[in-house]
Amino acid sequence: MKRFRHIMIACTFCCGIILLALIARSTAASGDVLPLAEHAYLAAGGAYNGAYIQPEQTPDPLASPETDVSPEGEDYSLSFEGATDSAEAKPAEPEEIGQMGEASATKAVTEPPSTTATAAEPTTTEPATTKPPATDPPTTKRPEPATTRPPTTKPATTVPTTLAPQPKMLPELSNLNIAVMVKEEEALLEKLNKDRKVRGLSPLVMDGTLRETARYKCKHMIAKNYYAHTAPDGSRYTQWLEMLNYKGSPLGENITYNFNGTSYVYTQWWNSQGHRNLMLHEKATKVGIGIVYDFDTGRYYGAMHLGY
């Protein structure tokens, strides 16, 4: 809005100057150019710097005040002070004037002024306005709601498994005053494998389950006070093997007792045809040997369980 107001003022000023120039041109013949231009310019706010010499002459009482004729040949050029870019009027140099009354006063004789006054359009310089750099307001993205998907858990597939039956503990036997002869058990197995080797049979391996039932047979006979393959309660060694989840197949059982020592246990079995035949069984691959000494009776009990 401010810029538009400045442009309107400048246009008004230029139109005024052009109008005054046209008036001056129309009145050039009557010699009234200088006074009219002078007053118009001064009225518009300009400064008159031209050289103006008013000759001494007797006023004519019959002349009209509107037709004030200036002497021809006088220099009435004007100088307009103003900011012009292209056509700035050059101020006329002042005339050198002699003293008043001298007949040889020199007057500058120039060509009649141009009948068309050229007015330079004023330029309006607006103060430089520094516009702040256009910065777009920061665009803040609206946070999108986080979609948390529930973890997909596949239903656990339970595969039915057939659990092997857990081994049961053999019934506990109490009130025993006994000792297990471990070294004598190992010595008896070594002697048995020598006899099998002579006859071209494979050696036997000491099996833990068969060894446990053989020892239990000795303890069971001491605790129940009997000597037989079948206990008074009807239990047999094969039932105990089932309780312990024995994976092999049983072949037979040898039992004995004596008062002479552990070496005599082997002699008793070897001298009996039925017991020796079991000890030399071709299918046998495993054996369990148990030798227990009863301190109350002084007896050595022995048991042998074979299997494959």
- pLDDT given at position 90: 46
What is the phi/psi pair of residue 78, to 5°? -110, 155
pLDDT of residue 36: 47
* 193-246 confidence digits (pLDDT tens): 999 999 999 999 999 999 999 999 999 999 999 999 999 999 999 999 999 999
Its pTM surpasses 0.75: no
The two structure tokens encoding residue 241: 């093997």
User: Which pLDDT band holds residue 3 (cuts at 50, 70, 90)?
Assistant: confident
- pLDDT of 161-203, one tens digit each? 666 566 678 999 999 999 999 999 999 999 999 999 999 999 9
| The predicted structure's pLDDT at residue 234 | 95
Q: Which residue has the higher pLDDT, 102 or 164?
A: 164
Stretch 112-140: mean pLDDT: 50
CA quadruple 262, 264, 265, 267: dihedral, nearest 10: 140
Residues 6+ apart with CB under 8 A from 2: 126
Q: Which of 289, 148, 308, 287 is nearest to 218 (CA)?
A: 289
Residue 22: the pLDDT is 77
Average pLDDT, the chain: 72
Q: Give the model's pLDDT for residue 205.
A: 98
pLDDT tens readout for residues 22-51: 776 766 545 544 444 444 444 445 544 444
- DSSP letter at 248 equals S
Residue 137 has pLDDT above 60, yes or no: no
How far is C-alpha 83 from the chain's CA centre? 66
Give the model confidence (pLDDT) of 247-287 as tens digits.
999 999 999 999 999 889 999 999 999 999 999 999 999 99
Q: So what's the pLDDT on residue 146? A: 59
Phi-psi bin for 200: left (phi > 0), alpha (psi -120 to 50), beta?
left
Is 81's pLDDT higher than 50? no
How do residues 4-14 score in pLDDT, each as one tens digit? 777 778 778 77
Bridge partners of 252? 306
Per-residue pLDDT averaged across 90-96, rounded? 44
Q: Where are the alpha helices (H) located in the chain, listed in sequence order?
A: 2-26, 33-43, 182-198, 208-224, 237-243, 262-270, 273-279
**CA atoms of 60 and 63, how far apart (whole Å):** 5
**Six-digit token string for 50:** 């031209």
pLDDT at 15: 78
